[in-house]
Structure 1
Amino acid sequence: MSIDNEMKTLCAAGKLALLEPAVPSFMVRRHVFVGGEARSFIFWDGSIDEDFESVSGRTFSVLERFSNGSYIAVGMDPHDKEARSQIARVDPVDQGIFAFRINDPNPAVRIFGGFAKVDVVILLTWWPREDCDFPSEVARCRAEWDKLFPNHPPILSDEIEDHVSKHFHIS
């Protein structure tokens, strides 16, 4: 089964949800799917510490910026990226996991996931930035990915164009 069909099946089963931008772009069509604890965090179902409620709202706006085709800064080198990067690859890079970086308001968080194909990201886990053990979070996110998509790893590439087609800046 193709990853597109698997995503449709998971959406129909309620395991993934597609975030629809309020104002879609006609220039770039990007898609953000959320599942697992990332879904609980982004849609704020009340199961998470209230300290993160305002961050959850901010996260939704950052994801909408990505999905509506706005210019984004992407850090491809986990150890050398600009502070303004909204998305960054996370070490170990051979796992194909990226983090959406939510820095304002505090406390800062990272939303972890991978690209299923160009302009399609699936976010599955999250963790507060403070004291984040990134290799452990990559492993945790990848384990969730592999449960949902055992035959389809996230995109594994050093080329930004294999992840995002237009309107990006490598930071």
Structure 2
Amino acid sequence: MTMLQERLDDGELLLWEPQLPGDSCGRVLFLTKEINDEFDPDVWTDPNVALRYANLEADFDRYVSGWTVPVGLEPYSKGDNAFMARIDPIEYGMWAIRSVAPKPALRVFGAFYQRDVFVALLTRCRKDLGGPGSREWANAREAAIAKWDCLFPSRKRLFGDELNVYFSEKALTV
């Protein structure tokens, strides 16, 4: 049994199922229980949160349903349209899904377990992260690393310099 299957069986991870059908795609997204719980409308205190999380659902669907994903391999020189981007320092193997609309924008911190398999570990509002290289970014990155290490104690995060290390298809560098 793989570590992923063990985490699914014990409820620490959940498999994201697309809300709408899309093209066939081999990408898989796992969420921590904490992220999944954020989709529970009973915990929302602001009615605008429903729209925010509906858009995050659409973003998650975009990843698993076969849409072409714009990817920023360089943390500080990526296109504004990057859907996913590596986080500095890149050798840590941490990434963020950039859910930008509507405001407030969200960042979903995570890492690749293997090619086409992303594990979403935690979310943060972009406005709470400060600027590039800020202590807030570092704290979020380190919290995500700690979460990974708890879930997968002996497993390294996927790391490489080329897009095809992470994606088998339908991804482009921006």
- Provide TM-score, normalisation by structure 1: 0.90
Matched, 1:139 2:142: yes
Given candidates 117, 124, 127, the residue that maps to 1:130 is: 127
1:52 Cα shift?
3.3
Distance (whole Å) between structure 2 residues aligned to residue 117 and residue 49 of structure 1: 36
- Equivalence for 1:44: 40
Given candidates 139, 161, 171, the residue that maps to 1:168 is: 171
Distance (whole Å) between structure 2 residues aligned to residue 13 and residue 45 of structure 1: 24
How many positions carry a matched residue from both structures? 166
- Equivalence for 1:54: 51
Residues 21-59 of structure 1, C-alpha deviation per residue, up to 9 Å, x if partnerless? 231533x21100000432222x33544553533211111
* CA root-mean-square deviation: 1.6
Q: 1:154 to 1:127 in 2, by over 3 A?
A: same
Letter in 2 for 1:144: K
Given candidates 24, 28, 31, the residue that maps to 2:28 is: 31
Bigger mean CA offset, 128-137 vs 112-121 = 128-137
Distance (whole Å) between structure 1 residues aligned to residue 41 and residue 119 of structure 2: 19
> Matched residue of 2:148: which SS?
helix
Residues 97-150 of structure 1, C-alpha deviation per residue, up to 9 Å, x if partnerless? 110101101111101100000100000101000130222211110100000001
Distance (whole Å) between structure 2 residues aligned to residue 38 and residue 88 of structure 1: 19
- Equivalence for 1:63: 60
Matched, 1:104 2:101: yes
> Matched residue of 1:169: which SS?
strand
Alignment gaps of 5+ in structure 1: none
Matched, 1:121 2:118: yes
Alignment gaps of 5+ in structure 2: 130-135
Distance (whole Å) between structure 2 residues aligned to residue 115 and residue 140 of structure 1: 16
> Matched residue of 1:130: which SS?
helix
Distance (whole Å) between structure 2 residues aligned to residue 84 and residue 155 of structure 1: 23
